[in-house]
Structure formats: structure tokens, C-alpha cells
Chain A
Amino acid sequence: MIYLLLAAGLFMGWSLGTNDAANAFGTAVATRVIKYRTAIIIIAVCVIIGSFVGGANNIGEVAKLATSNEVIASTDVVTDAIESGMVPMLKLKSALKAAIIFVCAGLTVFGMSYFKFPVSANQSITGAIIGWGLYYADYSNPEILSVNLPQIGKFAATWVLNPLGAGIISFILVKTVGQLLEKKLSTLGGYDTLIKTGYIIAGILGSYSIGVNSSANVTALYFDYAYSETGVAANLLTNPVITAGIGGIAIALGVLTYSKKVMMTVGGSIADITQMDGFLVIIAMALTVVLMGNLMGIPVSTSQAVVGAVVGAGLTRGVKQVNFGVFKSIGLAWIGSPTIAGVLAYAVAFLTQGFFG
């Protein structure tokens, strides 16, 4: 019965799938380079592969952040629960806390989408974790601070580094690879083959990176970080690879069942760039998300990376070609999503302190 609480995370994964799929194949589908059905099958398969192959690394990092913010039980807390025979209660509380975080993040995504504000699901989850921690974690404790502050710092740094990195990679790719490929073209048919192949490769890389990056956000809060030391399961999931894999499957289901509308909308708006730039932008996003994830150790926003990459591609034609106004609305999503989710989580933590405190 307790495993029903996993549904909150899976739902979050499903909604991530419905939204983030657009980042990998939106442009290709909207411009009819790739058929929608082909795109969703490629995304679903690659997201699952990415989550199983590379998701576990982020699981550990998210779990570390969640542990220091009192969302996931630390080894000491689990050890105490084992000694006092309270493991089933601890397991229930941990799963409930995870579900609360996902509900807060989910409400943020829903609310911001309802009012037509751009939103980042990944950022909302991290914001909710920090919001919960701000209520419960002892920020006067240097040990907590030494874990939390760098994590929060990293989180804020990705707001700049992620789009900046994507912009630089995209600029270099368009300037070098794009123009080199253009020189090699001899026929219109050859151009079409290049575009199709490029979008498929970019889509595969993009989907893989979503699997690596986002799967952790979906299920890491159900992961028992202390299991390797205690050997007793104090949360719903104990294997990091399977934890990430379940997240990947949830995202894949979102892609397969309800991604068309977002894919057409987002893809259409990104499609202002040329077809050649389009797939290079996705490759830049994928590289950035995976690199940033490895470098910073936390899942980053794929949407931030796409925006940065689009701007980078635009800059190859000069500063005047870039619509910097896009940053106003996107900036709102970057700052608004984690802030609102954090405030919600803080409020819920306050209201439920009698049970969790």
C-alpha cells in the first residue's frame, strides 16, 4: 500500500515526459522532418536507456541534497529507527515527504502553466526540496551548512552556467560544424538527408540526456541513501540504477501518451531558427545537460539549456539577430519555479510539523 505513494513521483515523471520531449524532438516534429510516432518511440527508448545507464549518478546527488534538507532520512536517523524498531514508520514518513515535495512541485508546474508562465519542472523539484530544508534543516549547524550551501550555490550557479554553457557549445557547433557541413553539400536531396540524420542523432542524444538528467528528479526522493550502510530499507527504493530506471520509464510514458501538443507548440516556437541550426542546438543542449550534470552533480534544466543554445546559434549571425526579450519570460520560470515550489514546501512543512517534526 505504501508503494502507492510512488505515484506522486511517477506522475511528476509523466508530466516531465509530456514537456521535456519537446526539447529533444519538438523542432523536428513541428517542421515535419520526423514523424511524431517515430520521434516518441526514439525518445522513450533513449530516455529509458539514459536513465538506466547514467541516471544513478544524479540519484546519489539529489538524494544527498534531499538528505541534508531532511527530506530523506540520514544514516543516523535510520540507525536510530532500527534501534527503536521504528523503521516502518520512518519508511512511511520518507515516502510521504517525497510525495509532498512532488505535489508542491507539481502544483507549481500546474499553476504556472495555467497562468501561461514558462515553468521548469526540474527546478521546481529542487526548489521544493530546499524549501522543505529551510524549515527543518538546522542551518546553524556547520555540517548541514557545509552540505546545503554549496548545493544551493551550485543550483543557483546552473541558472547562469547551464544556458551559458549551452550557448557557447551551440555557437561553436553552428560556427564550425554547421558551416563545414554546408560546404560539403552538393544537392538539395543531400541537404534533406543531412537534416533528417542530424535530427535523429540530435534527438537520440537529447533524449538520452533527459534520461540521464531528469530521471533522478522523479524518483530520487524515494531512494534510501543510507541503505548501503545500514542494509535496512527505510524508504521505497534501495537500488540507484533501478530507482533512476523507474524514473526514466515514467518520463517515457509521458512522452508516449501525452506529448504531442507541447511538442508542436514548443517545437513551433523554437523553429524560428534554421533547420540546420535546429539539430545543432539540440546536440548542444544534450552535451551541456550531461556535462553540467557531471560537473555540478545536480540535475539541470533542459529548457534552460535549449534557450541558451538557441541564443548561441542566433549569435553566430550577430547580436542584433538575437531576441534577448525571451530571457525575461524564461528568467521568470528559472527563478519563479523553484521559489514558488520552495515556498509551498516550506508552508506544508510548517503545517505538518506535528507529524514530521
Chain B
Amino acid sequence: MIAVLAVTFAAATVAPWIFRKFQRNAFYVLAAVPAGAFVWLLGQYGAVYGGGHGSTGGSSTGGAIEETMPWIPDLKLEFAFRMDVLAWVMSLLVLGVGTLVLVYCARYFKNKDADLGGFGAQLLAFAGAMFGLVTADDLLMMFIFWELTTVLSYLLIGYARTRLAARRSALQALIVTTAGGLAMLVGLIILGQTAGTYRISAILAEASTFATGPAQAAVAAAVVLILVGAITKSALVPFHFWLPGAMAAPTPVSAYLHAAAMVKAGIYIVARLAPGFSDSPAWLPLVLGLGLATMLVGGYRALRQTDIKLILAYGTVSQLGFLTMVVGLGKPDAALAGLALLLAHGLFKAALFLVVGIIDHQSGTRDIRKLSGVYQSSRALAIVAAVAAASMAGVPPLAGFVAKESVFEAFVHYGADPASEPWGPVLLVGLVLGSILTFAYSARFMWGAFATKPGVDRTPFKAIKPSFLAAPAVLSFLTVVYGLWPDPVDSWIQPYAAVFTGSHDGGTTASSAGHLALWHGLTTALGLTAVTFAAGIAMVYARNFVSRAQSRVPDWIDGDRAYQRTIGALDDVAVWVTGRTQRGSLYFYLAVILTVAFAVPLTALIMANKPIPGGLYLIDPNSPLQVIAAAGIIVGALAAVRANKRFLAVLMVSVTGYGIALLFAFQGAPDLALTQMLVETIILVAFVLAMRSLPPELRDRTGGKYRVVRVIIGVAFGVTMIFVAIYAMGARISNPVSLSFPRLAYEGGGGLNVVNVTLVDIRAWDTFGEISVLAVAATGVASLIFVRSRGERIVKSASVPEGSVGRRPAVGGNSREEASLAMVRKFAGSLADPWLVAGRTLAPERRSIIFEVVTRLIFHSMIVFSVYLLLAGHNLPGGGFAGGLTAGLALTIRYLAGGRFELREAAPISAGMLLGTGLATAAVAGFVPLIFGGQVFQSAIFEFWLPLFGNIKFVTSTIFDIGVYLVVVGLALDVLRSLGGEIDEHFEETASADAKRSWASTAGSAGPVSDETATTVPTTKRTP
């Protein structure tokens, strides 16, 4: 079985290429696959029925072939397949009809039809999925195939992608069947977990123990959920509407999916579970009630249709209800009748759909008001159709008759059983009514499709090629054979029916299940058939009256409209909810998020009603000075909120930052204090650089009542956090893990600075993640400002003209500013010996001799110091972060003193290069230990003697720290290049553009020229 599935899916995968070569005849190639499987299936007859003989590869137990292959053992999921009697009969239908439909497709489609390859692949894959569904012996495997058929049916129904009807009905079918499928999945999982196994055969073998055991209720719920899946799939009321909708599919698809295969999946589930669970409390009401309602609704609606395909569609709905009732009854005779009917229905309904396809193909319409005289055009087609339709109506000596006789027999038997009171007779009456309707719509179909109607022109009808007619003809032929010689079918089904007797003695089986036969004698069932025919014929004669009566009844059951309303209501709710919650205002979103963020923990704290934990102190006895820093921070924070000047606010935030550095220092965290100081300084510079073009005022735009809300949220959040922190820290009961860190750091990491060793060794992965974030953020900054590149083009300062950078536009007039500017320029000229390499490129009014001298003095010291911090960090405060930030600060000073060309001279390397090298270095430090058989980021300690330096203890995690250092320098460099140098350039561009414009306008208006010549002046002046 696994081989069959593998071959089928493999063939489906390569189908598009087959189509490219053979065009539509490729369908014949594809048909060979299920045909081969069909032959294989016939070969398994002995193994399935005889027990133990002729099985191929798999083991054979109790008259069934089993094949299993492990898949995900942890989930108890395995490829478990079991070919028993039911699976064998279903496979006959699936593979046989599948072959014929594929053969039929080869003449139905044209070579120029779009996407034939994909279509063929889907149809073949569908046959495979269906085969998998009926043979799967694992609940989850079965569900996977179940959903596969749903997805493939979506694709197949929506084959005509350009037609709205096809798209919409494909989606409708998908939504309805998937919704049922989800319910079924829940049911399957409940069932599997309760049973402790997902093997269907094992569950069924022990089903009787569940029905009475402690898990009774769970199993009953599971059964209902699984039935919901079956009901949606098999288009039972109230979900029947998707099936007529799905008639937008190409007709071969309807013939296969909507007559023989997919809709039978629900029936199959019912048939599969009936031996074990038909005693479940909700089973019979659901199966019989919905089945009967569906049978009647479908038959009634079929009589109203004018599209022959829709007549068949509603007829199918009706028959599916019929089948569900019979198969689900859970009695041996009904089981026999059910499978007999299933086969008969597959044969005649597929044949009829294929006939409809031929009529549509040859005449261009399926409307019974337009079709006329098709019988004269093609008698062969009419005969094929007539056989199938007569079988549907239950006319002897055809398959439909044989099956329906046994159904009546079973229900007469059931009605006579006192246990069925009072519903048994009602069901019987319902069945007869449904059968009368079936007879009537079968006749309506034949009349509508083939009759010559008065007043309608004879429909033009192209001649049918025999190869086109072959598939339905074979099906109709089988219908006749089955009717005349039902014994083989009987022998196929008997073992399944025997399961219901519960005992294993063959004698009672035969007597209770009965046999399929054309002639049972003068029985009640035969009488019911006679009644059916009589009433049916009467309805055909009175058809005008019937249709008039029907048109007067309003459509009181319209599942389609209910579905549309549900979907519409869902849309409305979605739009409403979206409109209320997604209002587009960040303020609103944040307010909601933050309110939840404090309200939930606060509620939890209040509900918990715990006393405030002990150990609180206001002033730390070890460092009382903290209080002063704390006061400064609070003042700074409040001032930052109140400040209405941009830079004042920034400065106030910096005050809190520096204050926190002090707190760190008082707390005993020199590394933090150092890093915080450096970062705070660089941030301040970055702020000033980035915000120079923004207006100095900070306008408070969100005032009024929002301000009150903001104050409330802010204060509540702060207070909540204080209490959350108190309770969280009070809840600590164990010693901190970090108590062992100092020893770990010294012995394992070879360093005295515990914080630094934690970063580069104990928690190195964490740090590696962090420097990756730094690299990403640096790249983000650069891309925001440079947009296109990272500003890698390095211009040598030597090529830049002296004093050209940042030249201020002439102020004009004899103002003080102009005078001081002239003074500055004079002094600048005397700066013959530059302190900085590129200082001369800066406009003289921008230069500061003191700053240049100081920079010259401290830059190299700072770089050396940064390297010292990096290397000493393992044992003393410092490390890669602090070192990198110091180097960044040194570069900042160079930039501030000498402009962007100075920065390029100071760091003639791209920031991206630094970031990449840093990350690579850190990664190498992580991976090299693996080569020596260690773990990632494991560090090694080397001790050796060097002249001058003496004894050196080198720890390899220092290499990781060098990577960190490089990344931090890269980040600082990116910030300086972007927020500094590049914004400088933007400034100069706009300034020179502004200057040109203002120069032109002053020249035009201030000059002594008259108005007439004013416009010409700029052009004449610009020419030289």
C-alpha cells in the first residue's frame, strides 16, 4: 500500500512534464497509475478475504494486510496502513472510477486549455490521497489524507481561476469542510488519547469497553466531533450547500470528487466507526436524523433545478443522506445494504456526471430549457445515461434496484424491532418518500437532458467520439452486470456485515445480514418499491403541477444564504473590531499596552494580599552617599519632562544618566560606572550632532485631558514597578547563582574581574548575541542617513581645498559678526603648522586652535588607554566594551576638532569592515576550541615568559573581547560618520543651494536697477 501511494504521488509530481510531452493524451499515462493499482488490488483479494495468502511484503492478520513504517515515534505517529474488507471495497471504487475519469479527461479537455499539467497532477494526487484515506490505520494519518483531499478539492474546484463562481465555490467548499475537519481532529485526538493508541483497528477492537468505561462521556463527545467532520465532508444538512456550489468545478472533477470519491469520505468514516460506536448516545439521532433530512431536502431541491448538473448535484446530496442513514444504522443487514448502495451509487452517479460533461462539451449548454432533441443526436449516449438513471431510480434489473431492495429490507427489519419505536416506521416512510423523489428527479434528468421539447429548437450537437463515451459506458455496463449478477458484490461485503453480529459463527451471520439478490420473493420491500414506482410515475406525469406547487413554496432552507450571511457577519465584526482597536494612533496603542502592563500585575498583587516582605531599607549602610545621587537623578528626570527646549531636555536626561553612573560606583560596580559614563558622553555628542537641524523648541502637542491620562499611566506604572520589585525580591528563597561566579571566574576563566569574565566566558553566548545586535543597529543608523551606501568612499584630505569645509555664508553689511569673521580668517592664515592632519580643510571660522592642540595631545593617549582597558579588563575594571567606547570617544574628539576629513584620516577604515572583523573574531574565538575537542567559547589559559613583560598569563577569551572591542569601535565610527560627517554634507549642500538662491534674490531686488530689468540681471551676472 505504501508503494502504491509512493508511486501515485511520484507520478503526480512529474505529471506536468508528462503533459508537456503528450499534451492531453498524458491523461492516459496518468490513468495507468490507478489502473495498475486497481489490478494490484484485485490481486490482493485472496489475502484480504482468505487470510494470510498472497500478501506482498506486509503482514497479514485476520483477513487484512497491514503495513507500518515508523514516522515520528515520539508522537506515536506512524505510516500505518491496513487493507481490510471495507478498505478493499472503497479502494475498488476510488481506483476504478479514478482510472475511468482520467481516461475521460483525455477527451474532455483541449490541448490549449491552461494549466492542464497542474490539473492532471492534482487529480492523480487526489486519487492517491483518497486511497490513503481509506487504507490508513492511524487516526492522524487518516486525518492527514482527509485534509489532503480537502486542499486538492479546493484546487480542483477552482480550476477555472478566472471565473468568480469557481473561485468562490472552491473557497466555500474549503471553509466548510475544513471547519468540519478541525472538529474532527479534536474528536480524533480525544479518541486516540482516551484509547491510548491511534491505531484504528486497535481502537475498534476495544470499542465496547469505552462505551461503558469511565471515559464514556469523552468518547461520546469525540464521536460527535468526528461525525461533524463526516457531515461537512459528505454535504449533509445543514452543510449540504457547498456541494451544489462546487459544481463550478470541471465536470470530470464533479464526477470523481462529488460522486464517487471525496463526498464518500464522510460515509467511509461512518462505515468505519459504525461497528464500534453506533451504540454511542448521539450516533443514531445524528446519523439517522440528518441523513433523512438531507435525503428529503436534496430530492426536493433536485426537482427545482434547470441545470442538469445541478439536478445531479442535489441528487447526490439526497443520496449521501440516504447512504449515511443506511451505513450508520449499525445492523448487519443495513451494513450489507449500505456498502451495496455505496458501490451502486458510485457507478451510476459517476456515469451520469460524465454524461453531463459530454452533453455540455458537445452542445455548449446544460440548461434543460435549451436542450432539446439530444436523444436523436446521440442514441448511444442516451442509452448509457438511461441505464445509469434507471439504476439511480431503482429500476430492476440494475444495481440500484438490488441495493435499494436490501435497504428497504434492512429498514423493514429495523422498523419491526420494538427497540426502534417510535422512529423505525417514521424512518421507513421517510425512506420511501425520498425514493419517490429520487425516481422523480431521475426522470426529470432524463427528460431534461434528452427529450425533444415542443417549442425549443433542436440543440446543435457534435458527434461523440467513442473514446469520449468509453468511460461512462463502462460504468453503465458494470451497473447492469452488478444488477444481473450481484453474487460477487455480496461476497465482497458479507465479511464487513459479519462484524456487526458480534459473534463469529458464520451461520447466524448469513441469516441476519441477508444476501444481495435480484429476486427475494414477494417481500414487504418489493411492495415498497412498487409504491415508490407508482408514486414516482405519478409525479412525472404531474410534473407541471409539481413545479407550480414548488414555485409557490418559499425557499425556507437555504444553507447557501446562511453561509453568505455568516461570512458577511464575520467580515463586519472583523472591520468593527479592527476599526475600534487599530486606530492608527501610536499614543492610543501605547496607552492600552502600558495600562495593561501595570493593571495586570497590580491586580495580581492586590488579589494575592501578601504582607510587604521584610528587609526593606531606605539608606544603604554600606554607601549612604547614594541618596545624594538619587536626589540628583530625580530632579534631572522631572526637569527632562518639564523642559521645552530640545537640548535642555537632552541635557537633563544626561544628568540622570551620569547620576546613575554615580549610583553604580557607590553600589560597587566600577565597570558599570565606567561604561555608563562613556556611553552617556557619546550619546550626548550624538544627540547634538543629529538634532542640529531640528528647531530648538519642543512643542507639547498632546495636551489637555491626554496629559492627565499620561500622568496617571506614568505614575501608576512607576508605583506598580516599585511594588513588583519589592515583592519579587522578597520572594527570593535561594542563594544567588552568582555566589559561585568569583571562584568560577578565577579558576575557569583565569581572570580576576568577575563581571568581565562573565561577559566573555561564563555568559559568552549572551555577549555574542549582543554584539550582533550592535552590528545590526550600526548598519541601521548608517542606512538611515546614507540611504545608499555606508559612505565607504574615502577622500584623502590632501585633495580637499583649504578652508572649504563648513564655510559660513557671508553675513553681509558691516555687522560685528562680519568683523569677527574677518578677524578669524586672518588668524587662520597664520596657522602654518597644523596640529591636525585635516584641520586645514575646515573653514577658518570653524577652527579652534586650543581644541586642536588638546586633541593632538590626548588622542593617542586615549587610544593607548583604550587598548589598556581592553587587555587589563580581564583582571581590573575595563574590558572590550569600555575600551571600545574609549576609542570611540577619542575618534569623536578628532571629528569635533577637525571635521569629517579629520575623522577619515583618524580611522581610514570602513565601519562595516570593523563590525565584520569584530564579529568574525568573536566567532573564531567561539569555534576554535571545538577543533581542539573543547566546547564552544571554552577558554584556555597560557602562561609564558616574555622579556620586558615578565610572566604573562594569556587567556583565550581575550580574543573574544577583542572582537567586542572592534564591534563597539565600528558602532561608534558608524554613528560619527552618519550623524556627524554625512549630516555635515547635507548641511553644506542645502547651505550652498540656499546661498545661491538668496544671492540671486538679493541681486534682483536690492540693486538700483528698475523693475523692468530686474529679471534679466541674474542671468547676465551669472554668465561670467
Q: Do the two chains bind?
A: no
